């Protein structure tokens, strides 16, 4: 009598529970010492987990997406960092873009994971910064599937929404930014600029020296330009943490459109002087270029003290943007656990894109100025092809120190005359 017949006979004589016999059979016939046949795909001795994915999806749906959901919209906003409508819009777009997120049956007609389960697992990693296997108990999804879902999700976000929500300012955007700057006492201002370091826990040992910074651990740098409403207009990510803000700036494409004559035209007058290039508020490490306005270290006199106070107050927009980005997406606040730079870059870009989508969805951007044309918004507002001499001359104007100091002095007078009662 073989082992299976013995088990069946034991079952008939002592128990009517088929689940107990199947469990016993499973452990006997899947041990390596008892395996007699070749396994083409399964691992001998590997315990297959029955996660009951359908029940998991039904429970999650009732918790968050049903009409009378268990948890309120406020709970949803706190746990997903965005409104339910925006989340559903993102989930639908990702599912349409990549078949990986569509609900399927495998070759054995076993139902797979729903798009909601995969995307929820990704959001748990992004918003809470948890490990990949920490979502299994609720979402009913394996660790390797979560990691694969995360990589595919961030690529889909960049592909579907990147042109609209991570674009250079067009003419309409520039006009709005200039109007905001004028109202705040800085005519010609397009935003504020700074850099942020993201710790890289799993940086290869051979790269530690190149990526280590003043924090004495490997980091990767993100350069950002942000406006008052926390919208991020420029994001340049990927340089080693050993660089400083100046090194990053020299490699950044921030002024490429301006040098190529494709940026929107800017004209403004301050204190009787005309200017044709917008500028960004920056801290003291940035160079004295015509496109930057820095504070005055150790200012003397009421006018200069007032200018320094106003400049430092408005420049904090970019610091606030960093704080909100890290608060919404804990994955970029804690140490990065992935090994390859491409995945880290995709994660950072996707978080910036979703940050801008939340800014728009929550009313920080005028709904009448929603950007419907997608990629058309990043096309040059006017078509110019400067020759080499014009290209070099534009570069010279961008880096002109005399214009930088003149602009700073004009702003000192302008703020003192028109806005001294606001700060």
Measure Cα distances from 30 to 6, 57, 137 in Å.
17, 29, 25
Residues 40 and 99 in one domain: no
Residue 15 placed within a domain: yes
If you write DSSP's letter for every residue of 77-117 in order, what string do you get? Answer: HHHHSS-HHHHHHHHHHHHHH-GGGS--B-TT--B---HHH
How far is residue 326's CA from residue 107's CA, in Å, rounded to a whole number? 42
| pLDDT per residue rounded down to tens, the chain (423 residues) | 444 454 445 444 444 444 443 433 333 334 444 444 444 455 666 666 667 778 888 899 999 999 999 999 999 999 999 999 999 999 999 999 999 999 888 777 777 889 999 999 999 999 999 988 888 888 888 889 999 999 999 999 999 999 999 999 989 999 999 999 999 999 999 999 999 999 999 999 999 999 998 778 999 999 999 999 999 999 999 999 999 999 999 999 999 888 888 888 899 999 889 999 999 999 999 999 999 999 999 889 899 999 999 999 999 999 999 999 999 999 999 888 888 899 999 999 999 999 999 999 987 544 443 333 333 333 333 445 567 888 888 889 999 999 999 999 999 999 998 866 655
How far is residue 423's CA from residue 420's CA, in Å, rounded to a whole number? 6
| Domain-ending residue, one of 164, 191, 216 | 164
Q: Which of 95, 69, 235 is nearest to 152 (CA)?
A: 95
Residues 125 and 188 in one domain: no
For residue 154, count CB atoms less than 10 angstroms from its CB and return exposed for 0-12, middle for 13-18, buried for 19 or more: buried
Range of the domain at 144: 53-164
How far is residue 415's CA from residue 423's CA, in Å, rounded to a whole number? 10
| Domain-ending residue, one of 116, 149, 164 | 164
Residues 177 and 309 in one domain: yes
Dihedral of the alpha carbons of 201, 207, 212, 218, in degrees to the nearest 10? -10
Q: What would the two tokens of residue 339 be?
A: 């090994």
Residue 143 placed within a domain: yes
pTM of this prediction exceeds 0.85:
no
Residues 121 and 150 in one domain: yes
Residues 87 and 232 in one domain: no
| Domain-ending residue, one of 164, 186, 219 | 164
Residues 196 and 278 in one domain: yes
Residues 36 and 96 in one domain: no
Q: Which of 289, 294, 293, 278 is nearest to 399 (CA)?
A: 289
Residues 211 and 154 in one domain: no
How far is residue 239's CA from residue 252's CA, in Å, rounded to a whole number? 10
Residues belonging to the chain: 423
Total domains present in the chain: 3
- pLDDT single digits (tens) 83-108: 999 999 999 999 999 999 998 887 77
- pLDDT single digits (tens) 12-52: 444 444 444 343 333 333 444 444 444 445 566 666 666 77
Residues 27 and 95 in one domain: no
Residue 107 placed within a domain: yes
Residue 423 placed within a domain: no
Helix, strand or coil, per DSSP, at residue 366: coil
Cα–Cα–Cα angle for 111, 112, 116, rounded to 5 degrees: 120
């Amino acid at each position: 009598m073989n082992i299976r017949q013995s088990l069946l006979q034991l079952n008939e004589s002592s128990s009517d529970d088929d689940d107990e016999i199947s469990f016993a059979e499973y452990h006997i016939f899947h041990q390596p010492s008892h395996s007699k046949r070749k396994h083409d795909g399964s691992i001998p001795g590997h315990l297959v987990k029955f996660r009951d994915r359908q029940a998991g999806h039904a429970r999650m749906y009732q918790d968050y997406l049903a009409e009378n959901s268990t948890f309120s919209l406020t709970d949803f906003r706190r746990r997903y960092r965005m409104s339910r409508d925006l989340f559903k819009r993102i989930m639908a777009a990702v599912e349409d873009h990549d078949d990986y997120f569509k609900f399927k049956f495998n070759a054995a007609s076993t139902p797979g994971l729903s798009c909601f389960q995969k995307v929820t697992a990704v959001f748990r990693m992004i918003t809470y910064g948890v490990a990949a296997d920490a979502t299994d108990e609720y979402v009913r999804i394996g660790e390797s599937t979560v990691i694969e879902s995360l990589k595919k999700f961030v690529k889909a976000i960049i592909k579907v929404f990147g042109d609209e929500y991570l674009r250079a300012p067009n003419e309409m955007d520039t006009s709005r930014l200039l109007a905001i700057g004028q109202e705040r006492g800085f005519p010609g201002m397009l935003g504020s600029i700074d850099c942020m370091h993201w710790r890289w826990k799993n940086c290869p040992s051979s790269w530690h020296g190149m990526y280590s910074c003043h924090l004495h651990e490997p980091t990767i740098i993100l350069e950002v330009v942000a406006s008052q409403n926390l919208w991020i207009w420029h994001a340049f990510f990927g340089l080693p943490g050993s660089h400083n803000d100046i090194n990053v700036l020299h490699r950044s494409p921030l002024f490429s459109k301006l040098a190529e004559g494709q940026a929107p035209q800017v004209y403004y007058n301050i204190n009787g002087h005309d200017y044709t290039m917008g500028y960004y508020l920056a801290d003291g490490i940035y160079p004295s270029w015509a496109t930057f306005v820095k504070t005055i270290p150790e200012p003397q006199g009421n006018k200069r003290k007032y200018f320094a106070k106003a400049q430092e107050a408005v420049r904090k927009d970019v610091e606030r943007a960093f704080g909100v980005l890290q608060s919404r997406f804990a994955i970029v606040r804690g140490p990065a656990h992935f090994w390859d730079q491409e995945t880290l870059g995709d994660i950072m870009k996707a978080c910036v894109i979703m940050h801008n989508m939340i800014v728009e969805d929550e009313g920080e951007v005028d709904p009448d100025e929603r950007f419907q044309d997608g990629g058309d918004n990043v096309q040059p507002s006017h078509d110019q092809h400067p020759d080499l001499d014009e290209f070099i001359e534009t570069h010279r104007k961008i880096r002109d120190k005399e214009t930088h100091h003149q602009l700073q002095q004009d702003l000192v007078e302008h703020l003192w005359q028109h806005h001294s009662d606001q700060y």
